[in-house]
Structure 1
Amino acid sequence: MKKLPFVKILILLGTFLNASSKNSYTWTTDHMHIGVRWQPFGLEKCEIYDANRPLIKDHSSYAQFWVSWQAAEPNPANTDYKNNLSGYLKAINHAVNLCVERGLHTELVMWHCPAWASENGKGGAWKPRAGEYPKFVARIAKYFKGRVGAYQLYHEVNLQGMMNGADMNFIKEEIFTKGAKAIRAVYEAEPRTHVIVSTSGTSPCQPCEARVGLKGGGAMAVDDYYDQLISDKELMSKVDALNLNISDHFNGYGMMDGALIPNCWTQYDLARQKLDQRDYRSKKILSSESWICWDGSGNNHDVNADGKRDERDAFEKTITIFGKVLERGLNTVNMPWCDNSSRWSMGLTKRVDYSGQIKKLKPEWVIPSNYGGPGVITRKLGIHGPETSLKPYEVPEDGLRFSEVDYINPGDPNHLHYYVWRWYSQIAGGSNEVIRHAIAGERGNDITTNGNGFTGNEQYKISSYNRTEKSFTVLVYSNGAAGTGFLEVAIPATIQNGKYYNNEFSKIDFRGEGFRNGTKYNISTITKDINEATGKDENVSSGGSRNQIVRDGTLKVRIGKLRKFTTIKFTKAR
């Protein structure tokens, strides 16, 4: 293990210069994050309202923002951020600041190209002139340094349509290698600041045209995409992680061809195995675009076989997708924060009439919230105009409209799958600093379980260590648990030398943190069900004990009358 000099550690821990004291830690690939993909509408009061919704303020640990180069710098004059910052970047800047104020970490994902920087003079998904992209990401990095801790260099580059005119060599050399170098040069300049740089997620679209230079199409092209990246030594020396999309595409679980990539978690396995085969245990995998659709359109999938496509399917898909990828070791997962005008209805929350203007203009589009406050908007809307005089409009019919009849619980400002996301979000601790702990099945670093209550055909175990609270959290899901059996859980009492996390490749050495033998600790447990129509907690049973003593380097707990969703917290006794 390479120990960092004390001075360097101080520099790293002071990474976010403009951040609040809540957000003073350095984000490394050993940290866990569950959060949102937030695309601000450019409405300042709306952004403030969204930032203060429990989704972001209380339960998210990070926010991912997509940065369209075309929108960020529509004209060459907009490259002068000090004097001519575009309205688009102003909105992202404002939202990033709101996150930092609330202790959330932030990540930027780049895509598209303005007409003035492209080879053919067209704006959008076109190849930029050589040298322009590295200069763009350098400008972005300089502007956001101290507030943004991670960058993804592009979006779905396995598809030709995401950057027309470019082949795979251009992607590897110009976008990934030179782009990563440009960002690192900014962050390595004084004051030196740690940054995570990763590549690009991959579209799960099987029939879409693959990038020129990739072998085959669909899943085969994705397989070759990972091979090409991992074979490029210079590229791999500049990035910290590869990426994948986490979604319910095609079959409800991210299927491409049904064989090589039957779902998104086997794509994680595919990328992880390729990294291992080339001795890249130091490199991680991070999530890129992530979504789960909830509406009645063809984008949703009847995974519970009740003959309907609705929010109950999104509920079930979220349990499975999050459980599968988090248990395997994916350390970042996000979902779209709110409904918008996209053809894919995938927000964790519904849009609300935060200013009351929608109700004044279209009262039939707004219904009262179950919890008071702003009314719930019941249409898929686009919005034009300044915030003082909004002009809402319903998307065209081919935009896959919805209304309150598509909501399971119309007056709830949250969609049903939000409540599953919220349960999983506990593992990342909101604004607290949380790192990965034991991984199910990892020898010497396992989450062991025993008991007749831990039953059913779908089971997940995930653990983390909260460095802010000095506590361990374990989440256990068991779809067969019905309050009639028990569960025993044991985890290591200190951070172990892990296969992928907390090892000799870690930027900061967390190993050994936790509770030593002889330390007294307290246990708190909550086991419950979540109602699949309302999202409300049901059959809740709380328990725990005090002043237990760590023996044999292990923390243990027994839970009776186990239900489906169980949260365990071990804290040091005071």
Structure 2
Amino acid sequence: MAYIKMLIKKHLLPIALFLSVVLQNFGKDKSSTSYDWTTDHMQFGVRWQPFAGRPQNNLYDSNRPVLSKHSSYAQFWINWAAAEPRENNTNYQVAMSAYLKAIDQAVNLCASRGIKAEFVMWHCPAWASESGKAGPWRPKAGKYAEFVTRLARHFKGRVGAYQPYHEVNMQSMINDADIDFVMSEIFLQGAQAIRAVYAEKPAKSVIISTSGTSPCEPCGVLKGLKGGGAVAVDDYYNRLIANKPLMAVVDALNLNVADHANGYGKMDGKIIPNVWAQYDLARSKLDKAGYYSKKIMSSESWIVWDNSRNNHDVNKDGKKDERDAFDKSVTIIGKMLERGLNTINLPWSDNSSPWSMGLTKRHDYNGRIKKLNPSIVIPARGGGPDIVTAKVALGGSDKSLYFHRKIRKEENDFSVKNFIDPSDPNHLHYYVWRWYSQIAGGSDEAIRHAIAGEVGNDINISGLGFTGKEKYKIASYTRTKSKFTVLVYSGGADGSSSMKVTIPSTIQDGKVYNNASSLKDFRGEGFVDGDTYQARFVTKNISRNNGKDLA
């Protein structure tokens, strides 16, 4: 096996080093970026919730760099109660709801830009629930499979992945149901229904997973699960993995990637002390059961940036602010990608959620908010639409936007005082997310390459330049550009030492990725003896004051 060795001799950066290495064979470029999404592919992007009745707003958001330039996929939440509020809304050709029209527009915008789409379903309309209530209620037998059949048939070819439910470990997410109902009616029958549609001619590939789990330790758990909190999550994974018919139709399990409780996704502190421990927990259970081909995918993900109770002073400077979000992003994204999580997403922008977690600030895209309340709008650096400095609950269309209610105290409003750099259109942790996005962001086809610590398939780094309490190394191969990308974070770099980075020159047989169970065989792709390539090394730090590159 051949290796590519790179010596990075000098990096004039104090405190921390963000290193990106790009090796490209320009003679093997492909003209098309169209590809079938498999679980060996890496996807890096956002959770995007488009606005009903505001196509101009959605178009504006789709053109922001966070989506159009740096994302390879967008995750959409599909609230069944909003998508089909009345039974006649099941006829998408005649009576598609405004909510689903917004999703439809956003998916089309993604498809036109080569961005993949994933759906996460949740809740139930009153007409389809056993209780007769809309929201987190158990659906009538067979109704959920009918719903996802309609959804899959309408979005086939434009949506490449589905998660049948959301935070299903909590009873409050699907009242009157238990784990057996969820596994049978939602996961198994739902997955079978989606696969049946995608198998119809012309057949299309599709990835189906299960549901992420809420990191809430004291919340009431789904009936049928043992214990509570992390104990119930542990049992949830056990129940799924023991269900052979279910495991035969899903490609992956899921977890939330979040900064909950301690800034790093803590539940009980023992079984799940942080989110990467939850990844290790699920991965070890799959491996023990022999399910090396089954992956783990990201569900709801968030990192809070304001001074609310949901944020955490992880850097111990006595404040809860955007610098904490910056540091949490370095750690959480680094640990998850390095371990092997192939999908990462964070909320695209500020909205009216009680949790302030947008990568970017809300923009006054058409000037309407400034007319309604000029005191909460400030100019953006570099021009463009103004920045909205408070949470707003908007109603109406593009032309008739209005504040349909006030932000309540428990919704944790923020102000311009919470912004580290007020005129910046983005939040500080966006710049960490953007740096990591180099591993797979954009419309090109990127697959997982070597994994840190995997024998025969490692990213080997030697030298005193790779140092500090936090160190991460991640690699991908972009098939469209015949390009290897290696990202290295060295938290203790002081500008005085070098490092050597070594990766396999071709895609190797991996334990979890790129092996005999892969839907498509990428092994052997890369650089062979005699190939010429260009190497580009970028070393920098990122300012914790304004996100600017420090080179």
TM, length-normalised to structure 1: 0.90
Q: Does 1:58 align with 2:69?
A: yes
Instruction: Please state how far the C-alpha of 1:512 moved relative to its aligned partner.
Output: 0.4
**Structure 2 residue aligned with 1:478:** 490
**Structure 2 residue aligned with 1:130:** 141
Distance in 1, matches of 2:410 and 2:345, equals 27
Q: Does 1:102 align with 2:113?
A: yes
Map 1:321-340 onto structure 2 (within 5 A). 321-340=332-351
Instruction: Please state how far the C-alpha of 1:430 moved relative to its aligned partner.
Output: 1.0
**Structure 2 residue aligned with 1:187:** 198
Q: Does 1:143 align with 2:154?
A: yes
User: Is the Cα contact below 8 Å between 2:66 and 2:348 reproduced in 1?
Assistant: yes
Q: Does 1:261 align with 2:272?
A: yes
**Structure 2 residue aligned with 1:357:** 368
**Structure 1 residue aligned with 2:416:** 404
Distance in 2, matches of 1:533 and 1:490, equals 33
Distance in 2, matches of 1:519 and 1:52, equals 37
Amino acid at match of 1:92: I
Structure 1's consecutive aligned runs of 4 or more residues displaced over 3 angstroms after TM superposition are none
27, 33, 43: which one aligns with 2:43: 33
Deviations 1:525-554 (A, max 9, x none): 00000000100000x2xxxxxxxxxxxxxx
Distance in 1, matches of 2:530 and 2:128, equals 63
Instruction: Please state how far the C-alpha of 1:429 moved relative to its aligned partner.
Output: 3.5
**Structure 1 residue aligned with 2:463:** 451
422, 441, 446: which one aligns with 1:434: 446
Amino acid at match of 1:270: L
User: Is the Cα contact below 8 Å between 2:33 and 2:480 reproduced in 1?
Assistant: no
Deviations 1:196-243 (A, max 9, x none): 000000000000001100000000000000000000000000000000
User: Is the Cα contact below 8 Å between 1:31 and 1:434 reproduced in 2?
Assistant: yes
Distance in 2, matches of 1:232 and 1:223, equals 15
**Structure 2 residue aligned with 1:67:** 78
Q: Aligned-residue CA RMSD in angstroms? A: 0.8
Identity of aligned pairs, percent?
63
Distance in 2, matches of 1:143 and 1:199, equals 21
Deviations 1:507-537 (A, max 9, x none): 0000000001232222100000000010000
**Structure 1 residue aligned with 2:13:** none
Distance in 1, matches of 2:415 and 2:164, equals 36
Instruction: Please state how far the C-alpha of 1:447 moved relative to its aligned partner.
Output: 0.3
Q: Does 1:347 align with 2:362?
A: no
**Structure 2 residue aligned with 1:311:** 322
User: Is the Cα contact below 8 Å between 1:23 and 1:100 reproduced in 2?
Assistant: no
* Higher-RCO chain (CA-CA 8 Å, sequence separation at least 6): 2
Provide the secondary structure at the position in 2 that maps to 1:154: coil
Provide the secondary structure at the position in 2 that maps to 1:89: helix
Deviations 1:452-484 (A, max 9, x none): 111111000000000010010000001111221
Distance in 2, matches of 1:266 and 1:238, equals 26
Provide the secondary structure at the position in 1 that maps to 2:486: strand
User: Is the Cα contact below 8 Å between 1:22 and 1:431 reproduced in 2?
Assistant: no
Distance in 2, matches of 1:65 and 1:85, equals 17
Distance in 2, matches of 1:383 and 1:22, equals 40
Instruction: Please state how far the C-alpha of 1:394 moved relative to its aligned partner.
Output: 4.4
**Structure 2 residue aligned with 1:517:** 529
Instruction: Please state how far the C-alpha of 1:398 moved relative to its aligned partner.
Output: 2.0
Amino acid at match of 1:496: Q
Amino acid at match of 2:36: T
Deviations 1:111-164 (A, max 9, x none): 000000000100000000010000000000000001000000100000000000
Distance in 1, matches of 2:396 and 2:37, equals 37
Distance in 2, matches of 1:22 and 1:318, equals 32
Q: Does 1:206 align with 2:217?
A: yes
Distance in 2, matches of 1:48 and 1:297, equals 31
Distance in 1, matches of 2:483 and 2:109, equals 27
User: Is the Cα contact below 8 Å between 1:429 and 1:466 reproduced in 2?
Assistant: no
| Residues 1:63 and 1:22: Cα distance change in structure 2 (over 3 Å) | farther
**Structure 1 residue aligned with 2:259:** 248
Instruction: Please state how far the C-alpha of 1:386 moved relative to its aligned partner.
Output: 1.7
Provide the secondary structure at the position in 2 that maps to 1:371: coil
Provide the secondary structure at the position in 2 that maps to 1:438: coil
Instruction: Please state how far the C-alpha of 1:371 moved relative to its aligned partner.
Output: 1.5
Deviations 1:479-501 (A, max 9, x none): 11122111110000000001100
Provide the secondary structure at the position in 1 that maps to 2:364: coil
User: Is the Cα contact below 8 Å between 1:32 and 1:435 reproduced in 2?
Assistant: yes
User: Is the Cα contact below 8 Å between 2:45 and 2:441 reproduced in 1?
Assistant: no
Provide the secondary structure at the position in 2 that maps to 1:94: helix
Distance in 1, matches of 2:526 and 2:377, equals 49
Map 1:360-509 onto structure 2 (within 5 A). 360-392=371-403, 394-509=406-521
**Structure 2 residue aligned with 1:554:** none
Distance in 2, matches of 1:155 and 1:247, equals 14
312, 328, 334: which one aligns with 1:301: 312
User: Is the Cα contact below 8 Å between 1:137 and 1:182 reproduced in 2?
Assistant: yes
Instruction: Please state how far the C-alpha of 1:82 moved relative to its aligned partner.
Output: 0.6
Amino acid at match of 2:51: F
Provide the secondary structure at the position in 1 that maps to 2:135: coil
| Residues 1:186 and 1:264: Cα distance change in structure 2 (over 3 Å) | same
User: Which stretch shows the higher mean deviation, 386-395 or 350-359?
Assistant: 386-395
Distance in 1, matches of 2:232 and 2:242, equals 15
Distance in 2, matches of 1:532 and 1:371, equals 20
The alignment covers a number of residue pairs equal to 519
175, 182, 192: which one aligns with 1:164: 175
Distance in 1, matches of 2:198 and 2:397, equals 36
Map 1:525-536 onto structure 2 (within 5 A). 525-536=537-548
**Structure 2 residue aligned with 1:8:** none
Q: Does 1:217 align with 2:262?
A: no
Amino acid at match of 1:494: T
User: Is the Cα contact below 8 Å between 2:314 and 2:327 reproduced in 1?
Assistant: yes
Amino acid at match of 2:45: G
Q: Could you tell me which runs of 5 or more consecutive residues in structure 1 were left unpaired when the two chains were aligned.
A: 1-20, 541-574
**Structure 2 residue aligned with 1:12:** none
Distance in 1, matches of 2:162 and 2:148, equals 9
**Structure 1 residue aligned with 2:17:** none
Provide the secondary structure at the position in 2 that maps to 1:455: coil
Amino acid at match of 1:389: S
**Structure 2 residue aligned with 1:274:** 285
Distance in 1, matches of 2:83 and 2:150, equals 11
TM, length-normalised to structure 2: 0.93
User: Is the Cα contact below 8 Å between 1:23 and 1:104 reproduced in 2?
Assistant: no
Provide the secondary structure at the position in 2 that maps to 1:387: coil
Instruction: Please state how far the C-alpha of 1:346 moved relative to its aligned partner.
Output: 0.2
Instruction: Please state how far the C-alpha of 1:22 moved relative to its aligned partner.
Output: 5.7
